[in-house]
Amino acid sequence: MQHLALAFHRANASATTARTAERRNLIPQLRELANQLAATIREGSPAQARRLAHQYILPPIAWGFLASCLQQQNISAEVIVGVLS
């Protein structure tokens, strides 16, 4: 019984490690998307930025990361909510 528990734990740990690695690979892509969104917003096209953002199916944590990146680029909270909601 203990061997089964250890095997399950190892399999679960491998899946967690794979998910963590996948997230790390997505971070540069999300930063690039945030840069594109910020540039589009600064050009005066928040509606176009919204269309660009919603082309992607992202988990909630990714939307939060995008919001954080946009906030760091001095995009107002109202605009961020409008683009990402």
Q: List pLDDT tens digits, range 37-70.
A: 999 999 999 999 999 999 988 889 999 999 999 9
Name the amino acid, one letter, at 55. Answer: Q
Model-wide pTM > 0.75: no
Q: How far apart are CA 13 and CA 33, in angstroms?
A: 30
Which stretch of 7-11, 27-31, 65-69, 79-83 has the lowest confidence by average pLDDT?
7-11
Inter-residue contact 46 to 83 (CB < 8 Å) = yes
